[in-house]
Amino acid sequence: MAKATEWADFVIIGAGSAGCALAARLSEDPRVRVALLEAGGRDVSPLVRMPAGVGNLIRAKSAYNWGFETVAQTNMNGRRLWWPRGKGWGGSSSINGMIYIRGHARDYDQWRQMGLAEWGFRDVLPYFKRSEHNERGGDAFRGEGGPLWVSLAPVGNPLYKAFIQAGRQAGYPLTKDFNGAQQEGMGLYHLTIKDGERWSAAAAYLRPVMAERTNLKVISGALASQILIEKGRAVGVAYSAGAGKQVLSIRAEREVLLCAGAVQSPQILMLSGIGPAEHLKQHGVAVKIDAPDVGENLQDHLDVTGVYECTKPITAYTMTKGLKQFAVAAQYFATKQGAGRTNHLHAGAFLKTRGELDRPDVQLHFVNAIMMDHARHKPDRDGFTIHACQLRPESRGTVRLDSADPFDDPAIDPNYLASETDRRTMRDSVRMIRDIIRQTALTPYRGAEIMPGAQVQTDSEIDFFIRAKGETIYHPVGTCRMGRDERSVVDERLSVRGVEALRVVDASVMPTLVGGNTNAPTIMIAEKAADMILGRPPLPPEDVTIAEDRAPGRI
């Protein structure tokens, strides 16, 4: 191993949502030197900046997308599923759908009930608020003045309004703010878009401070291969750089902070000798800490779609077909106006499949376009798509090494649909989509059902459709689980058990998957971790009233 030629107080691995936020907060203290290692490069692509570029970013492996695949899924016809994950500055916040959702308050209270005393909703709310600048101003639930710009999606296209009205006609409530007192219901999403530009974690936290902070250094093109451990303490990071994959290292005087995400954080721990002992030995990795739960507890939101023709030429297809796509791009880059400034995903819902539930268990995303196979299917007509995902799956999967080569992808096994509850919930979500679609508010726009297709009606037929067409909606968590028990990978202060000066700070520490998109919660974790790392007292808990969600899911 090459001798470390550089040093920092804190070495952060990964410039994704958590890494960007953590680097910015730690470097606020000019006495602290921070080094941020990122395997990718700067977020310079026009497709990253333009919200409508999201479809191009998620569909293929690229400089901005690791482009993973799962192992063959036993309960999904043996399919290997496409798993986009962000690469480069901003990580997945540079290729995601830009939906700002925190999850339900009871998700975090559940963590508190698991013994994580500082992670209840009243404890984490101040950090959500500190991170946020809501363009409509702050209130008891929303933040103002933070780095992460959050805007309310415009109603705009009449399809969004019709979808929300159809949900009301189907008997579901309306909510003004999915991140406020009542998550349940139909409504408009809040988006991480500022003035028509994607507002990733890099845009929010990293780019604004780089020029002025000499104590913050970002090392791009640096693939972390191993956390260096001496006498039970993390002392630095080895990484490969440049086309020749030269192995370099950097020393951490205070702590190593692993922010590589739910896929690569456990991979890096295992490559460093921290993981299930027998598994490490199989790949020739010297065992430093036998940590059997590293890579366990993988959870993700499985997604199915209802896809429909639209009888009016008002969808993204008509706006961008043929040569119009060049006009859209030209207009956007000249004025930041037009179809390029939107993600075409403005409305959604959080609903219950059963009235006795204490919080919604299904999330809907309404897309003003035909969206199939991660946008790899090119639409040939006007249409719209309703995504449905189960918010709290019972199924648990794993991330494992496929080899000891850090350049090889790990083996990802989400183990989708292993639970009968998961299968039932997904089946019910298909029926909920159809129930909303048949309402009169959508009659002027509703054409033929493309997916699942009118012939798919029985339980077994719907189950077959889900196995054949279900996909990730990009929310993996849990593989470096936080907990009070000795098997948990990190404790409630995110310190890796058995190793000094090493923490994991990203979505992998979530013990359970939250009810919603995971970018905002990941940033919250980094905000809270920064205070822990610097020895600052936590922000004071805030008392707010959450609407009672035990009422029936329909009104």
CA 73 to chain centre: 21
Write the DSSP assignment of 17-85 as a string of letters.
HHHHHHHHHHTTSTT--EEEEESS-----HHHHSGGGHHHHHSS-BTTB--EEBPPBTTTTTBPPEE--
- Is residue 505 within 8 A of residue 257, CB to CB? The reply is yes
- Contacts with 390 (C-beta within 8 Å, 6 or more apart), sequence order: 301, 302, 361, 362, 422, 425, 426, 429
d(CA 284, CA 19): 30
CA 70 to chain centre: 17
Count of C-beta atoms within a 10 Å radius of residue 174: 15
- Contacts with 334 (C-beta within 8 Å, 6 or more apart), sequence order: none
Count of C-beta atoms within a 10 Å radius of residue 460: 10
Q: Which two tokens stand for residue 407?
A: 């350049």
* C-alpha triplet 266, 271, 276: angle, nearest 5°: 65
d(CA 510, CA 151): 26
Instruction: Given the residues 104, 346, 387, 475, select the one marked as catalytic.
Output: 475
Write the DSSP assignment of 204-268 as a string of letters.
IIIHHHHTT-TTEEEEESEEEEEEEEETTEEEEEEEEETTTTEEEEEEEEEEEEE--HHHHHHHH
387 tagged catalytic: no
DSSP3 helix / strand / coil % (the chain, rounded to 5): 30, 25, 45
227-248: b (≥16 Cβ within 10 Å) or e = bbbeeeebbbbbbbbeeeeeeb
Helix (H, G, I), strand (E, B) or coil at 468: helix
Residue 389's beta-bridge partner residues? 303, 363
**Active site amino acids:** 475
